[in-house]
Amino acid sequence: MILLDTANAHTFLEGFRFIGDHPGFLAHKALEQLELSGAALGIGAAVALPVGVALGHLHRGSTVAIGASIVGRALPSILLIAIFLTILGIGFVNNMVALAVLATGPVLTNAYAGVDGVDRDVTDAARGMGMSRLQMLARVELPLALPLLFTGIRVAAVTVVATAPIAAIAGGGGLGDVIVNQASYRLQGVLGACYCVMALSAGVWLALLALQRFVTSEGTTRRVAGTT
């Protein structure tokens, strides 16, 4: 754990120089990271969304839903990656599974809270109009739960993109490869890759926030508590 280079204010600018000198290389690494993150988020959401929505619809299993978020926060990303490393070995699959597990927590909890929290008067009215369970879910509960569903996915996406660099320790590829390899890329390379990761996760956060504003109706957002 010995730092090779010493740094000053100039070094921080060198990080940007590195980005300017190697745009193609960094873009390639960023794309690799987005691939890993996208696959993990997709799998995590595909598992967690239906479970959360179903539990919320039935108003059951709040312990499971809340427990998922607590466990999700308490399990360190590096530990998950290490555990799956011992099971699945080094490489893409190990990291994808570890990151997918990380993604399930916020998606599940928010999907549950969103559907469970739909006003009982509204669901009663829907049932009174003769809607079936599926119709109620598709036309009433899901649209009303959309803001929270989206919040869950946004939080999960940022978590996954931000954690992906750690996956480089276990052969995950992406910008993390540069960040954890100061011996090859020197400090300016590490810093340049760090800036890219920060831009990437902030960009994902802002893009999903904008998409969320665009997709969800204004009438449904008022009941959502502002969570980051």
Partner 1 sequence: MIAAGGPEPVIPNFGHGSACVTGNHLFCWSWVREHWSDTLEPHLVQHAELTVIAVAIGFAIAFALALASHRVRALDQPIAIVAGLIYTIPSLVAFQILIAFSGLSNTTVLVPLIGYSLVILYPNIVAGLRSVPPGVLEAARGMGLERRQVLWRVELPLALPAIIAGLRIAVVSTVAIATVASLVGDRGLGYPIFLAMRLPTPFKTEIYSAGALVVALALAFDLLLVATRRALVRWT
- 130's CB contacts (< 8 A; 6+ apart) are none
Of residues 86 through 145, those in contact with partner 1 by CB under 8 A are 86
CB nearer to partner 1: give 64 or 131.
64
Q: At what angle do helices 182-215 and 142-163 cross, to 10 degrees?
A: 170
Residue 47 as a binder of partner 1 (CB under 8 A): the answer is no
Which of residues 13, 46, 122, 198 is near partner 1 by CB under 8 A?
198
Residue 179 as a binder of partner 1 (CB under 8 A): the answer is yes
Which of residues 46, 93, 202, 211 is near partner 1 by CB under 8 A?
202
Residue 51 as a binder of partner 1 (CB under 8 A): the answer is no
Residue 11 as a binder of partner 1 (CB under 8 A): the answer is yes
Asked whether 166 and 119 are in contact (CB, 8 A), the reply is no
Triad 203, 205, 207: Cα angle to 5°: 65
Continuous segment of H or E residues that includes residue 204: helix 182-215
Triad 87, 194, 207: Cα angle to 5°: 90
The token duo for 40 is 């993990």
The token duo for 78 is 């590096």
Smallest distance from the beta carbon of 200 to partner 1, in angstroms? 9
Quote the DSSP letter at residue 8: -
CB nearer to partner 1: give 53 or 155.
155
The token duo for 145 is 């739960």
Asked whether 104 and 72 are in contact (CB, 8 A), the reply is yes
Helices (H) and strands (E) counted in the chain, each on its own, are 11, 0
Asked whether 68 and 105 are in contact (CB, 8 A), the reply is yes
CB nearer to partner 1: give 1 or 134.
1
How many residues touch partner 1 under the rule CB under 8 A: the total is 49
Smallest distance from the beta carbon of 153 to partner 1, in angstroms? 15
Interface region with partner 1, contact rule CB under 8 A, candidates 56-64, 105-113, 145-153, 175-183: 175-183
Smallest distance from the beta carbon of 63 to partner 1, in angstroms? 15
Interface with partner 1 by CB under 8 A: which residues? 1-5, 7, 11-12, 70, 73-79, 81-83, 85-86, 158, 161-163, 165-166, 169-170, 176, 179-183, 187, 190-191, 194, 197-198, 201-202, 204-205, 225-228
